[in-house]
Amino acid sequence: MRILFTFAGGRGHFEPLVPIARAAEAAGHVVAVAGRAALVPIIETAGFTGLAVEADGGGPPRRIPLQELDPDREDRDLRDGFADRAARQRATLLLALCADWEPDLIVCDETDFGSMIVAERLGLPYATVLVIAAGSFVRKELIAGPLHRLRAEHGLPPDPELAMLSRHLVLSPIPPRYRDPVFPLPATAHSVRPFAVGPAADDAAPPWLAELRGAPTVYFTLGTVFNVESGDLFARVLAGLRELPVNLVVTVGREIDPDELGPQPAHVHVERFIPQSVLLPYCDLVVSHGGSGSVLGALAHGLPMVLIPMGADQPHNAARCTELGVARVLDAVRATPASVRDAASAVLADPGFRRAAQRLRDEMAALPGPEHAVRLLERLVTERRSRDR
C-alpha cells in the first residue's frame, strides 16, 4: 500500500504523524510525507521521502514584537490562513503530486483541509490525525465558509455539517481525558498512544545533560514558531528562572542566537534545539508557550508545567491544563521575572501538579500503539476496495 502523509503546519503538525508513518513503513507499506518546502529537510532527516507541496516565503522567519492575546485574531488566522489560502494552494499542488505519486491512502493532519478535498475529489480514502490537543480551536462554524467555497470550486457536493473533517477515520494521539469535553471526539475517532519522536542522527544529546545533578531540572521553550514572535519574553522568563536553585535548560530555536541572551551562570544552559525525547527524561518541570506538542511531550513524561500562551491553540491548552491541575498559567505580556520565578517555584513545591501529570502520563501509556493505527488504515483501504468492486 502506498500511503501519503501530509501536514499543513510546522514541525508541531509533522511530529504527531511520525510514529504512525514509521509503523506503516515497518509493516511494509511505501510512505512519503508532504509538507512545506522549508520542512522537507526535516522530513528527510526523520528518514522519510519528503515532498514539497507548498512554497515558503523568502528568507528566514521575521522577528516581531510580542502581541496581546487576541482570540479573534487567532481565529482569523486559522480561517483565512489554513482553511482558505493554504487549503486552496495545497489542493492544487496535491492534485498534481497525487497524479505522479499515486497514493492508495492519504493521512493528513487535522488542519490540512486541502488534502481532504483532494482525497474526496480523487475518490481516495483518507484519515486525519489530530494535532490540536484540546479540541476547542478548530471549530466547524469558524472554518465552514471557506471550505464550502473550496468544495464547490472542486466540484464536490455540499457538506453542510463538514463531515469531511472526520468522514473515514480520525486518529487521536491525545489522552482522551485531556480533550475539552465540550468538543467530544467524533464517532470515527480512535485514540492511539503518542510517543516521543526519536532523535535524528545529528541530534545527539549534549554531553552535559547526563551530568546534571543536585537540583531539579527545568526546561524552558517557546517552540519553533512563536519563538520568533515573543519579543522580550525569553529574557524575562530566563531572568526569573535562573534565580531558582535548579538546573535550567533553555532552547530558543534555530532562528535565534543563544548569545542574544548574554552570558549565563553555570547552572543555565541555552541551546538552539534539543529533541524533547532526549531532554524530557531528565526534567522535573516544563515552562513553555503551551503549544500542543510541548504540552503533550511534558505530559507523556508526567511533568507539570508553567504555561505562558501567546496565540494559536495555546490559550486553549492553558485552560485545559489548569482544569486538569497540571499547570499554572501566566500572561505573556505582563509576566515579570518575579512572577515567573514564583509560579515555577510553586509548581515544583506542590506534588499535586506532578501527580496530576503522572495520571495523564499513565493514561497515554495505556493507549494502543501506532501499530494499531496502521491496522486501522489497512482496514480502511480494504473496506473501500471491497465497496468499489
| Residue 176 scores a pLDDT above 70 | yes
Q: What angle do CA 256, 262, 266 make, to 5 degrees?
A: 110
Fold category of 209-365 in CATH: Rossmann fold (3.40.50)
Domain 2-194+367-388: CATH architecture, name and number where available: 3-Layer(aba) Sandwich (3.40)
**Which residues share a beta bridge with 286?**
219, 305
Report yes or no: 34 and 51 within 8 Å, Cβ to Cβ: yes
- DSSP secondary structure string, 238-264? HHHHTTSSSEEEEE--TTS-GGGG---
Residue whose C-alpha cell reads 516565503 in the numeric block: 57
User: Longest C-alpha distance within the chain, in Å?
Assistant: 69
Q: Which three cell numbers stand for residue 179?
A: 480533550
Q: Model's pTM, two decimal places?
A: 0.93
Q: What average pLDDT does this structure show over 1-6?
A: 98
pLDDT at 198 over 60: no
pLDDT confidence tier of residue 58, bands split at 50, 70 and 90: low
Boundaries of every domain in the chain? 2-194+367-388, 209-365
Characterise 310 by phi-psi region: left (phi > 0), alpha (psi -120 to 50), beta (else). alpha
Arithmetic mean of pLDDT, 364-389? 91
pLDDT tens-digit series, residues 238-277: 999 999 999 999 999 988 999 999 999 999 999 999 988 8
CA distance 316 to 352: 22
User: For residue 221, which of 314, 111, 104 has the smallest C-alpha distance?
Assistant: 314
- Tell me if 2-194+367-388 shares its fold with 209-365: yes
